[in-house]
Amino acid sequence: MSTEVNHCSAHHVVIIGGGFGGLYAAHHLRKAPVKVTLVDKRNFHLFQPLLYQVATGGLSPGDISSPLRAVLAPNKNTKVLMAEVSDLDPQQQTIKFKDTELAYDTLIIATGVSHHYFGKDQWAEKAPGLKTVEDALEIRRRIFFAFEAAEKETDPEKRRAWLTFVLVGGGPTGVELAGTLAELAYSTLKNDFRDIDTSETKILLLEGMERVLPPYPPELSAKAKASLEGLGVTVETSSLVTDIEDNLVSIRQGDQVKKISAQTILWAAGMKASKMGRVLSERTGVELDRAGRVIVQPDLSIAKYPNIFVVGDLANFPHQDENGKPLPGVAPVAMQEAKYVAKLVNKQLRGETLPPFHYSDYGSLAVIGRHAAVVDLGFVKFSGFPAWFAWIFIHIFFLIEFDNKLLVLIQWGWNYFTRKRGARLITNQEEQPNLGVEQKSNPPTPVKV
Amino acid sequence: MSTEVNHCSAHHVVIIGGGFGGLYAAHHLRKAPVKVTLVDKRNFHLFQPLLYQVATGGLSPGDISSPLRAVLAPNKNTKVLMAEVSDLDPQQQTIKFKDTELAYDTLIIATGVSHHYFGKDQWAEKAPGLKTVEDALEIRRRIFFAFEAAEKETDPEKRRAWLTFVLVGGGPTGVELAGTLAELAYSTLKNDFRDIDTSETKILLLEGMERVLPPYPPELSAKAKASLEGLGVTVETSSLVTDIEDNLVSIRQGDQVKKISAQTILWAAGMKASKMGRVLSERTGVELDRAGRVIVQPDLSIAKYPNIFVVGDLANFPHQDENGKPLPGVAPVAMQEAKYVAKLVNKQLRGETLPPFHYSDYGSLAVIGRHAAVVDLGFVKFSGFPAWFAWIFIHIFFLIEFDNKLLVLIQWGWNYFTRKRGARLITNQEEQPNLGVEQKSNPPTPVKV
């Protein structure tokens, strides 16, 4: 039951960002004696862990998105505002839009991160990353267009370049993309072409560290690598990308430098804080880490401003253990942080407080392919089919809306048994696609607010 | 069972266009002793009758699209080529692409139509039409953005303009869009906003003729109008649009001229043949009608070139009855024409022939809203819930792939019982959307080849 709130005088909590952090903060404040405004520049929540499925034609964007208004409609104390925040004034306690502003009593910032090209922003166009729906559709376009171009190409060398896919970054996104691409090339598309043999497709996963899934225990990294290789992916670790020219990737492996000719290069490495981190730092003096994330206090507020909180990927929470390593940028962290802040706001309104935030790590998991995944629950580590099953179950469980759960389950069941992928549309192309010069769908500095 | 075809010497049928006409032509040639190449500039077949559901957030593009390669993969005599045809040479029997060409023995052109702004191409940007996936996503973006903008707008007059939707054209597309918009505004979104009352939305359907659904029997037009008005749509017939300026529609009704202030204007009137019609006329001298459609012979070939056929919306077939009225541009016509041509090609290879094409009209149907439609099967006309049920059944039946049928059925069941529409993403927007100047997703001269 929601409490009636006097909207004129009630304590006003403004949340910026409708991802896991923002949405869960609003959720846990739904019965608090506050009014809540959730601000996002998009009108939907995106279930990012499944975005790679959109990029590979297995799901449609609508399947993994939920309209923020529909999700929050039952929360009578909550308003949704579709707008882009441009600035904030912590003294006046306002956030600013293009031509209006909004006053807050408590501010929760959950604007996340985007990809980072290590200072080489010119790579963005050549190797798109995967953070937004538009990114996923652009990657989907490039993947399926590459096979179409290969089918038409008569020069064997150029054809080989169209059938070569390079994935930069061996974290969960890179591993998931590589595994799904392998299924696509070696199973789904096998009978669809007449002039090319899609089983000649080369999929190369590059990781700078000495193993894939670096934050996972070494034995799971090894299992993931073995699974990927079993699917046909070439995994190269300790490999640093030194340059990306048009259709050419330069890699340094120890003292060796090699160049790989590939028409499709996808970026799954590097992470950069969203613009709000910098704005916040300029206005409040709060310290940022090297990636631009906001160093937060043990209660997730920022130094000197106890009524401004940062949660989710944008927060650097270094207090968990002795070595000060920040918490990873994953959904469970964002969700627990959001819940903590909502609870703390509630307590503070009654003149109480809470002990510092503590993250409970229930484990990590990453999917590799059609029926392989790795799961690390701390007390137990497993891989292969049971891990894949657990991965599916957990992901469907956390999809926000029931109809999405149902649709995704059916699509997956269908994709699994038929090895089909129905959503492989090439959309938003130019009249004659020219992949080198595409600009619009691949903005060099995506900012998620 | 497919017949083995000698790909070097076999009779080569080239089909341009992967809509209903092209796809069914390929389908009916699958066992013929010919090799078939289907050329389309897109890699998917689009089920256009349900495109309005994408435009209104009920379905995702992937739900109503099928990869052409996947659909045609079992047809061993068929190749798919994703390419845009720029020209043809009927003497040399080749079609031309940007830098290659392809020889044919028989050519089947099925490139369809796009919308026509009666010479006012500047209207295209202000009032987008609905033919492609990109069109549907652009309309979806405008519809949902309008409600977001209304929620933020404080000036009552401007807010009214954001909540006014004008649909130009009372054919099936206009009627279906109007009915679905009414459901959206008066049911689906009812509880999603805090500062606006979406039931104040005004939906205006304009038709130049004296009744909606002009090709249908008058009693069904009257029922459709009554159903729409029951849903809350204002239907104005005998109303001609004389001008569209930014957010202002000028209408002439008899001697009266009135202006309506609306932020969202959608185009469901006018039809223009695709570019291939003009190219064909220039190269072969074939006659075109005023809309640019190709006047075909009684066997669907073109004058002087018995090995070039035109089927579907691009064909003007005036031989059906005495008054020479062309067949309507609907899927059943395209499918029957495609089947006829496939059969004729087969016969001709054996030195035989066929009597002229004859269209069997099994009726027309249009959906109006959540459970209303009109159906005219010739021997029986009905409307309301049974018509709606028939409409759903027939549309799902004709969806190309089984997994699409299943997904669409589930989505519809879900949408019907919950009145939800999950796929209402606002995508591809600029940083700060400015609807007046959007260019990219709304090309002024869409050409479907």
Chain B, window 52-91: residues with a beta carbon less than 8 angstroms from a chain A beta carbon: 57, 59-63, 65-67, 69-70, 73-74, 79-84
How high is the pLDDT of residue A382?
77
- pLDDT tens figures, A46-88: 988 889 989 999 888 988 888 899 889 989 999 999 999 999 9
Work out the mean pLDDT of chain B and round it to a whole number: 86
A198 inside 8 A of chain B by CB: no
What local confidence, expressed as pLDDT, does residue B301 receive? 98
Q: Provide the b/e sequence for B328-343 (b: ≥16 CB within 10 Å).
A: ebbbbbbbbbbbbbbe
- Judging contacts by C-beta atoms under 8 Å, the chain B residues touching residue A59 are 62
Whether B176 sits among the annotated catalytic residues: the reply is: yes
| A190 phi and psi angles, rounded to 5 deg | -50, -45
Q: How far apart are CA B263 and CA B166, in angstroms?
A: 9
* pLDDT range class, residue B403, cuts 50, 70, 90: low
Q: Are B54 and B137 in contact (CB under 8 A)?
A: yes
- pLDDT for B300-341, tens place per residue? 999 999 999 999 999 999 887 667 788 888 888 999 999 999
pLDDT of residue A420: 65
Q: Which of A62, A82, A194 sits opposite B148 (nearest CB)?
A: A82
pLDDT for B140: 95
Residue B400: pLDDT band (50, 70, 90) is: low
Give how far B326 is from chain A: nearest CA, Å: 31
B176, B183, B207, B337: the catalytic one is B176
Question: Which among B134, B151, B418 has the least Cβ separation from residue A428?
Answer: B134
In this structure, what is the dihedral angle of CA atoms A34, A37, A43, A47, given to the nearest 10 degrees?
Answer: -50
Q: How many Å apart are CA A320 and CA A219, to the nearest integer?
A: 24
Q: Name the pLDDT band for A201 (thresholds 50, 70, 90).
A: very high
What local confidence, expressed as pLDDT, does residue A414 receive?
67
Does A445 contact B at CB distance below 8 Å?
no
* Shortest Cα–Cα distance, B300 to chain A (Å): 29
Q: Determine contact: A155 vs chain B, CB below 8 A.
A: no
Q: In whole angstroms, what is the distance from residue A129 CA to residue A120 CA? A: 13
Between A330 and B166, whose confidence is greater?
Answer: B166
CB contacts, 8 Å: A65 with chain B:
422-423, 425
Look at residue A397 and tell me whether its pLDDT is greater than 50: yes
Secondary element (H or E) of residue B265: strand B264-267
User: Between the CA atoms of A119, A122, A127 and A130, what dihedral angle is there, to the nearest 10 degrees?
Assistant: 60
Is residue A325 scored above 90 in pLDDT? no
CA distance B36 to B103: 11
Pull the structure tokens for residue A404. Answer: 């999405």
> How many angstroms separate the CA atoms of B129 and B273, rounded?
14
Residues A96-116, mean pLDDT to the nearest whole number: 94
**Mean pLDDT, all residues of chain A:** 86
- Shortest CA gap A396–chain B (Å): 16
Q: How many CB atoms lie within 10 A of CB B348?
A: 16
What is the number of CB-based contacts under 8 A between chain A and chain B?
147
DSSP state, residue B288? B
Q: Are A302 and A281 in contact (CB under 8 A)?
A: no
